[in-house]
Amino acid sequence: MTLTVLLDGCDVAEVAATFPAALSGHVLAYDLPACFALQDRSIEFTTPWDDVSPEDLAAAQRFDDEVQAFWRVHARIPLRGMDLLGMARHRHIACLTRMVWAAFTIRRAIERFAPTEIVCFDDHTGHGLEQPPGMGAMPLLQPIVRGMAENMGIPVRLLPRARTTFTDRAAHASRDQGERVDLTTRLDGRPFVLFAGSGNDLLRQLPLIRTICRQTDLAVVQLYRAAGDDALHQLRDAGHHVYHESQVTNPSRDCKGAEEEVAAKSRNARAEFDNASVRATGCARTIFANPHIMHHWDFLFGDYARRMAAHVATWQEYFDKHRPELIVANYPTPLLEVGAQRDIPSLVLSHGIMSCGDARWYSSLPEVTLGAPSPAARNRLVRIGIPEKRIAITGDPGMDATLQTTNACARARDSIKKPRILLITSAIAAPAHQGDLPAINWAGALRTFDELNDLARRQPHWQFTIKPHPRYDQVDLYERLQADLPEAQRWHIANEENLVELVASADAVVVVNNRSSAIVEASLLSRPVFLLCGDMPGIDLAAWGLEHWPRLDTVAGLEQELTSAFAHPEYLADRAAQSQRAAEVFLGENPKVSDERCLTTIQQLIGNATLVPSA
């Protein structure tokens, strides 16, 4: 019997059109869109989690560790004091982990079904680095399936593609925007702090930017790669300098003259990498000796290396002309990495109060100062090996609005006749965007949402609102679950509403199978926060500082808990107090706004000379 691995609805449709017999064999739905498409056709399927137990995760981690170790040793392109494959290192770490998880779960499916033939698509273009939100393509998935099958001696039936499956949206996310700007003229000799970011992080930086402009004589320049019109309007209204990167940089003439040097170094690095790949053993061989993913390595040692070399030359030239007092960012970018190489003081702010549990992401950053949201967050970073001298307690600018609202937030109602429940959700699958081995058994999480849907029908007087993650979620799942209900009885999906306002109007908050920063924010607003996390075998709650919140593993347990809480206001208040204490333990202090702390950190990084109060 055949085994076919499908990622999305288009995969399902193409197999149905070109080799429909495969849908009568074993089918592995690798992501939610394939799952929904197969359900719509009443086709039986399995998921990666049907063949992976919680105990298997340790084996997957060993697989990943071996692959990552090989990459660290053998994948380097040195140029001008930089390693072109070491810039934005986490992109490569995450990509390799996605490849490892695919290989690990596909091997388990093959071992379970013992297929006589593997059916896969003939994908041979594209790369595996993460694409922007909403782009779910995985151009390396089918080549991994093919390589695994051939390595295990199983015949492969290749299906042609009827569509283009990959467009490199990340490469085109930052186009030239606006007229060129002469910073020398605009700044008129004033020392400046350079902020860099994209998307939501630009607004997260705004409170600190306002504080700098208000309390110092420093100018502020904020550069972005991608931003929405609304965000740009808010930023420009603040009065500092806001430009697209392309407005203040020019393609380096030096880089154009050094193309041969870049090409030569890339060729030499690729030859060394290929020689090592041929000799790879064990788990590393599964990835690096697979002949069908060569297009990924071709991209990294080719077009990607040229782009990184251009960034290096451009930003080195930029900093020779316009050296800032300090660089502030939320994510590693070429600008930040080159600035660190040029010994420009640099500060990476938190991109979420929960982010300090992400050990691999922080460990992959360049040698810059890290802004920890709280003392407990600093301690977590120290435990994962970050030197304490590189950590400053800055608070989390993104949470300042919540902290300023805590005293004004309405308290729980004395009488609850129609309880209001806020569900905080996030993506349960999204394998194209995973940065680590999956933490969520999404097959189990689907059943949990089914049971939440049943709960809502059993308790029609309970009012449910879902606050989905702004970038990664499965709103189509929620709509499918309640499609047969009158619109007035369906869950309200609050895509645009403000989190603080939603929490303030809720009687209880339930965080469903994720570790969102909203856990802390909702707890500080004096609301009971329940963690419904029975489908997260890959998460150690204590390691993330989440062990003190009320935890429930089943929807039945949640229903019992909420029923008791809504019937007894004092019990609900006790749970709210427990959640607030948990948040304070998580932070390691009574929460504080970030602006003054950040300003103190800036003063320590660049000295007092330029930090005189503005007139």
Q: What is the pLDDT of residues 549-592, one digit of tens each?
A: 999 999 999 999 999 999 999 999 999 999 999 999 999 998 88
- What pLDDT is stored for residue 407 in this prediction? 56
Q: Quick one: pLDDT band at residue 396, thresholds 50, 70, 90?
A: confident
| Separation of first and last alpha carbons in the chain | 79
- What pLDDT is stored for residue 615 in this prediction? 45
CB 78 within 8 A of CB 114: no
pTM of the model: 0.93
Count the Cβ atoms, other than its own, within 10 Å of residue 158.
Answer: 12
- What pLDDT is stored for residue 58 in this prediction? 93
- φ/ψ region of 492 (left if φ > 0, alpha if ψ in -120 to 50, else beta) reads beta
Q: Quick one: pLDDT band at residue 607, thresholds 50, 70, 90?
A: confident
Look at residue 387 and give its three-state secondary structure: coil
Mean pLDDT computed over 163-168: 74
CB 508 within 8 A of CB 421: yes
Mean pLDDT computed over 6-20: 96
Measured in degrees and rounded to the nearest 5, phi and psi for residue 172 equal -110, 15
- What pLDDT is stored for residue 528 in this prediction? 96
- What pLDDT is stored for residue 172 in this prediction? 62
Coarse DSSP helix, strand, coil percentages of the chain, rounded to the nearest 5 percent? 50, 10, 35
Helix axes 442-458 and 555-567, enclosed angle (nearest 10): 40
For the stretch 211-252, pLDDT in tens is: 999 999 999 999 999 898 999 999 999 999 999 999 998 765
Smallest CA-to-CA distance from 73 within 288, 273, 309 is with 273
- In the chain, the percentage of residues whose pLDDT exceeds 90 is 74
Is the confidence at residue 609, as pLDDT, over 50?
no
Q: Quick one: pLDDT band at residue 284, thresholds 50, 70, 90?
A: very high
- What pLDDT is stored for residue 485 in this prediction? 87
- Average pLDDT taken over every residue of the chain: 91
CB 369 within 8 A of CB 390: yes
Question: Tokens standing for 359?
Answer: 């050990």
Lowest mean pLDDT segment, chosen from 139-143, 406-410, 442-446, 468-472? 406-410
CA angle (394, 400, 404) in 5-degree steps: 135
User: Dihedral (C-alpha) 228, 233, 237, 239: value to the nearest 10 degrees?
Assistant: 50
pLDDT higher at 195 or 401: 195
Look at residue 268 and give its three-state secondary structure: helix
User: Cα–Cα distance between 462 and 479 in angstroms, integer?
Assistant: 18
Lowest mean pLDDT segment, chosen from 52-66, 278-292, 402-416, 502-516? 402-416
Q: Is 573 exposed, middle or buried (0-12, 13-18, 19+ CB in 10 A)?
A: middle
- What pLDDT is stored for residue 294 in this prediction? 96
- What pLDDT is stored for residue 234 in this prediction? 94
What DSSP string runs through 157-197? EEE--SS-----TGGGSS---S----HHHHHTT--EEEEEE
- What pLDDT is stored for residue 253 in this prediction? 54
Question: Tokens standing for 532?
Answer: 């419904």
